[in-house]
Structure 1
Amino acid sequence: MDQLSLDFLPVELAEQLASHWTSIRLAAEEQGLALDAAIQLRAVEQGELGKQLAMAMVGSEFFIDQCRRNPAMLMTLLQRDLLHRKVNAVELRGSLAKFLAEVEDFDQLCRAIRQFRNRQMCRIIFRDFNRLASMQDTTAELSALADCCIDLSLQWLYQRQCADMGTPVNEAGMPQRMVVVGMGKLGAGELNLSSDIDLIFAFPERGQTRGGKKEIDNQTFFLKLGQQLIKALDQHTADGFVFRVDMRLRPWGQSGALALNFDAFEAYYRDHGREWERYAMIKARIVAGDMLNGEQLMGMLRPFVYRKYVDYSVIDALRSMKQMITREVARRGLNNDVKLGSGGIREIEFIAQVFQLIRGGRDVELQDRRLLRNLKLLKEYEYLPAEAVDELDAAYRFLRNSEHVIQGYQDKQTQALPMEEIHRLRHAVVMGFSDWQSYSEALDIHRSAVAMHFKYLIADPDEDQQNDEVGKEWGDIWLGIAEQQQAVEWLHRHGFDEVDDAWRQLCLLRDSKRVQMMQEAGRKRLDAFMPRLLAAVSEQENASALLLRMIPFVEAVLRRSAYMVLLMENPQALEQLVILCAASRWIAKQLADRPALLDELLNVESLYTVPDKQTLADELRTQLLRLPEDDLEGQMDVLRYFRSAHVLHVMASEVTGRLPLMKVSDYLTFIAEVILQQVIDLAWAAMTLKHGRPQRQGGGACDPGFIIVGYGKLGGLEMGHASDLDLVFLHDGDIMADTDGDKPISGQVFFTRLGQKIIHFLTTTTTQGELYEVDMRLRPSGNSGLLVSSLAAFERYEKNDAWTWEHQALVRSRAVAGDQQLMARFESLRRELLCQSRDPAKLRSEVTAMRHKMSEHLLPKGAKDHSTEVFHLKHGSGGIVDIEFMVQFAVLALAHRHNELAEWSDNIRILETLSQSQLLFGDKTEAIAEAYKAYRASSHRLAVQQRENTVSTDQYVEERKLVTDMWQQYLS
């Protein structure tokens, strides 16, 4: 016993181990093997080998039994030093291929793969129990072992069956191979020491076999092949088994066909797939067979698993699954189970997979099958607090290591903690504890933490609440149980003023065809949601009007009832929904049009926080990096959701008084600029990938040598919630030179297509709506001009051919995205153009003529008559446009002597510059600026409520008189 160190073991374990070691030595001696000498040799090299062997035998009777039955295997592991290093998937596959090289019949196949499996299991157990491998190393090697056993066995069986029955082909004569889908822990690459393997068999297309003794259909061929594969892996022989195979996760379960073609697969999940199957399919992975076609199958099934929207309905489904498991645990007395018991592995898996199902359609990184990787992402994305994730991570490692000790003992699929004292001691020692009490205390800490986090996330928000009379009353009203008189009186007592109208609208909604045609699950959600909504609405002023405003939202989510679940699962989000809809018609419409934005209501702190421009840029860049480079649809949806979400944040901050008007415009402008920069980057990457880079004048590649110039509200940093984008595209390339790629095109064609692609990104309507409306009419020569011009051509046009109104527009222009050097050159040119000397009389005449033309064409008819009782804030006399034209006149008239006027593109800072220099408007300048701010603030408020941009003529009387007086003084 000199080669085994037993001093570290409790006496009772050391005594047992001595007996086992003696039996192994005797078996080796009978076979003429010098096992002691081999251990002695390696002990010199490895130091702790004797102690490590003792630990493996203490923890695993399976290890002892394999060493006793086959001491030559242990000799091989020792002599090749396979116990102290990782073995990757390629090496495992190569080793098994050698085992199978001489196999001639099915029995030999079974013997070879079992002997190979037993050797690898002993190696893995040795490394795991001695902590020479991390938990992830162990599960990865076990998964790789399963992969190669399944795939190489399948190859051998397929070739043998083709020789007998012919090769299966499709209608075009192309050979067909089986696809093996690994589910559960195998699919995730997280297999246990004694896991069964959950498999699904598929094949691409229907057809017949060819070349065999008798032709059969592909379905029969793959059915027989699947049966043989299961037998090869699962059957118990004198050498044991390879893996227990479970096929119950296939379509229709045990009653379903053992193998289905791809079309049948897709039809099943489309028409019959259940929530628990979505949960199971998260971990699906092609583990063997036709890998290329297998990935096509995974792509077909992905829409079933991951929804495009934030899908809170899965919580209820997972909650139901957990309740079923909990009942089963109680019935079978499994509270001692580290997987299924309270605070066990299954609850950690549920926590991670809830977020995968809820958000995986949008945050594609969450589609990763690995649990620890997903926990890390939940921390990075702040979906869970960092402390909670750290506790779950530590608990998962501890529980999985415990599970390995349980299963490695006798190679049995169990997660039940040992009950006998000697086995508890053995378990504790392998886990690194001196006794069971110490281990049990550590286990309880981990399980308590998991149970707490699981309850917080999965628990029913209503389970601790009494079904009080108020809640019942709202339910009776919605369901029509309450009599009309009783319902009307209740509504009146709870803040509804226009009671009859509110009651009528509720009845119309409840009795509408769309509600009546809802599926049972959706109708149950609606009936649970509406009483909550009515109660929340009753807390707001003008409850009747608010209810009418929110009915379109309810109608919008009838077919997407997962959003109702989101609001019921998150009462705080429902509260914010009602508050914001009460404050703004615009918000109510946005949420009805894009219910996915409800996700933004979950975190109140972030809802009312507007990031700075750099943070916005970083966030958008990160979201786009999560998508494949060629996923155009995904990129466009990310851009649209990003814009809608952040505009909602701005609006929420505005209507609740947290953000003043000037900041609102700033942030809306920042959002547009950040999006435009990313659109340039995406379009540039797509174009250069295909055609290479265009060339600059004088040589060298453009990179990118392209900018977007913003005019109007974008250029003037005065964006509103519904503002379109007035854009001009400029480049610095050689239009005659070809690009440097494999498919060269001229510079002119390249930049034209680049501009078209940018417009396509911005204006195409997707499931997330349109990004922005784009107006390109301010480019040189307007609609008749080139879509993209060189900076040199732009300069020539502006100096020689531009109209005065085009120079007016230039006042409110800025380079907003693209090449930094070219942006700087544009700004220099803009200042030069604005600072040209002009004839004041001619300038005045042309500015007033354009103002008159605008008034004739753009001022609504009802606001043109001076006797009218409404004042149009933008186009009315003395309104916003008058101020803008006076500011533009001032810049064009005075900038040649006062260059500082050309520095700014926004009206307020130009007015501030005029005030500081005492130019044009004298002491009235600040008052004009205040009038401008007041008009814009009022316009914003009206836009928020989706009302016309008019006020009564008894408002802004002094401001209008001031502006008209100044106009008369300087421009008439």
Structure 2
Amino acid sequence: MTAHPAPQHPGRRSSAFSRLLRYGFTDPSAAGRLLQAPELAAVRDDSVLLEALGATADPDLALTALVRLAEAQDEDERQTLLSTLITAKPLRDRLLGVLGASEALGDHLVRHPRDWHSLVTYEAADLHPATPEFEAALAEGVWGEPGRERPRPDALRAAYRRCLLGIAARDVCGTTDLAETAAELADLATATVRAALVIAAEEQPTDAAACRLAVIAMGKCGGRELNYVSDVDVIFVAEARDGTEEPKALQAATRLAGRMMRVCSDVTAEGTIWPVDANLRPEGRNGPLVRTLNSHLAYYERWSKTWEFQALLKARPMAGDAELGKEYVAAVTPLVWQVSERENFVSDVRQMRRRVVENIPAAQVDRELKLGPGGLRDVEFAVQLLQLVHGRSDATLHSPTTLDALSALAAGGYVGREDAKALDAAYCFLRTLEHRIQLYKMRRTHLMPEDEPDLRRLARSMGMRTEPVETLRKEWKWHAREVRRLHEKLFYRPLLDAVAHLEAGGTRLSAKAAGQRLEALGYADPVAALRHLEALASGVTRKAAIQRTLLPVLLAWFADSADPDAGLLNFRKVSDALGKTPWYLRLLRDEGAAAENLARVLSAGRLAPDLLLRAPEAVALLGAKDGLQPRGRAALEQEVLAAVGRAENAEQAVAAARGVRRRELFRTAAADLIGAYGTDGHPAEQDRGHAADVIGGAVSDLTAATIAGALRAAVRDQWGDTLPTRFTVIGMGRFGGHELGYGSDADVLFVHEPREGADEQEAAKAAHAVANEMRRLLQLPSSDPPLPIDADLRPEGKTGPLVRTLSSYAAYYRRWSLVWEAQALLRAEPVAGDAELGERFIELVDPLRYPVEGLGEDAVREIRRLKARMETERLPRGADPTTHTKLGRGGLSDVEWTVQLLQMQHAWAEPGLRTTRTRTALAAARDAGLLATEDAQILDEAWVLASRVRNAVMLVRGRPGDTFPSDARELAAVGRYLGYEEGHVGEMLDDYRRTTRRARAVVETIFYGAS
């Protein structure tokens, strides 16, 4: 391309420069040189041309392409092009519009200089061509040239691009709207597949004669809403012709289908058309490419997944044997409209929605027009789910086209007309953006560009001329927000309108339709759910109005849990309890985090809601800054002791202490649930371990503070502030190890020492009275959760005295102590009472639990014998040893006994092992070289997982347990807590068994000494 600029006066050059800027050229100097090109001599001074260029998306791009196109013509053709360009407005608008919007189609015109003639005609039939017109155009391009003996795939590509040129021209000029453009693209794809199939049949006539082959359009092509650049999704169905055996017919059909796909997707000198994607077929890419109709039906009836029926919603016959295609669609259509009755319908749909978002690279999520939040998939997902729910009984909803289906949903009253109008507008805007982005390079992409020139061209292609880039960004974000808002509203607002009998706004559903929707969204008892909604949202009070604002999104969060019914019921109970409290609904309305946090907590199990319902004002914690951060032991003990000090008697004092414990248990459980809920995949192992440490520490600190309060109350009620003996409480087991779970007992030892001058018998009597009173007070019947105190690890167990003096402990341990008692003392740590006495007890037991020179062989054998006996005798009858978290294979006992054996053998020489905490000791053993890094990691992973499962069971069931629940909903809730999507409980159990099996292998080697 050459240009020969003529000398110009500086003033004229400045004037021309400004003029080109006004027309929208970003590089006026280059544009001026291009306009001086000899190829444009006939039109360079024509203001009509400049105005037309200025109306394009990218005047610089359009002018450059025009010069290239003019250069590609011979002299006569060039003059025809330029004169027609000036005199014929339809050609001018269409040709320059395409050149300014699509660099790829400009390149096509340069390669095929005469194709501009296809844009000259402007007949009525040209405005809205359909499949027959495209078939005729493709046939002329492929078979219509003189002397053509056989079709060439690159001829099909050139003809396809020529047809595409007309579609793009009508699109950018506004002759067709989005729906018409998408339909034309789908019709062109249909015509192209038909032509490719004819080419394949001509090349392989024997195969074509052996079978009937039908091509079924799927996805956007099936819905006649295709993009400029997209895979064309298909399914192949075949039958044998008379005289051909079925296996041979299927082989022939497979060869024919494969060749057809290659005709479309192979790269030639003309590039490629698009890939034909058959992965929506039964079994996906692992299944046979072609099946018979009966084979398809057998698969759908026995093996198909929910998403496959959702995909079949868009199935339509496309090419090949028309009758067979119709038979296929007629056979699968009833299956599509029965899918919402499947037991796993809701969980499958949720999984699919989550998977879409999870698969977006983090760097792209904010630029995704299709898959991101507020993107096209949100619209399509919402429309399709409503179709599947209500299409069971309403055939008017059976359209495969998104916008037509949305219109039918509005007409049927399933979506408000204003909402449907807003969603239609947002969808059209986003799809048009997607089209114009793809049109530029004819590349498949759904990402908003980042470069300023690309954004400017895109904005101008959308008709934005004033501050185009900023205007584009604002409109895009506004439409994305609308999509998210309406996506949430579509499912839930009509439910409220149905039960609250609103007179204006929204959509009215019948109670039956509302119940169907609730059922499809996962509510097991839709009648009860409607009753709760009516109680919450009916009426004209301000409270009901706020509830109607809150409930759509709350219902969405409930439906995304393992037990939506429980979430809604618990929300009603909390709302009833706090209904007259002015801050409650304001908190939920104005603090988005508080509402979501509450929904997650109320629908994730029984423990947290039960705690909350006993003191509903704790809802405030969910919206307060740092409200879910656990409080330290010192702060907790200070609050508890202050509450005890204000109480009139011991019962009231401990009731106050237990009230603090209830609130703090709720704080910890809520934070745990909110942190675990909706995790993208499985949390990283260090995050799991950190969560287990935080929960164990928080519950242990809370238990210690509560026991300190009970001790103060027991002493004050009978002895005032001076007990005749010093008294301390030693935490044992998981309590001493800062590893308590939600359902753990508090293992303790009670130690006392008579004060100077006190009578020893009176001191002992007082110590026993205090210990017994503490236990009584902490287990008084109450609405608060009990705190069982277990002192069975004391010398002589249940038969020994409940409290001993420090010297009595010393005498017993010196004379009678068994190896298991020394092992139990590994977890001993003072938790309440006289701190100095507690430290002296620790000094007493340190030589016992950390024996100098370690353990002898006899002691090691005894520990192994006790462990083996425990495995045999203590596992509950009928319990599955592969999933019992405490005593099962690779569970807590296995890991803890292994770590404790290493402590007793080596802590005398390795100070890092002198700790009551399992994970800390495990890390110290690894650092000391006593455990291989991989073995330590395996044991740590198993211990953390078993601890989390026990916590999950308590959170979900409201009572402790060492095995996975048998109830399906409870099991699903445990899975959600552990980070598994609904429907993946089998994967959760497999992961647990695999993790603990590996841990057991380490235990066999390290603990039992197996080689």
TM-score (norm. length: structure 1): 0.45
TM-score (norm. length: structure 2): 0.43
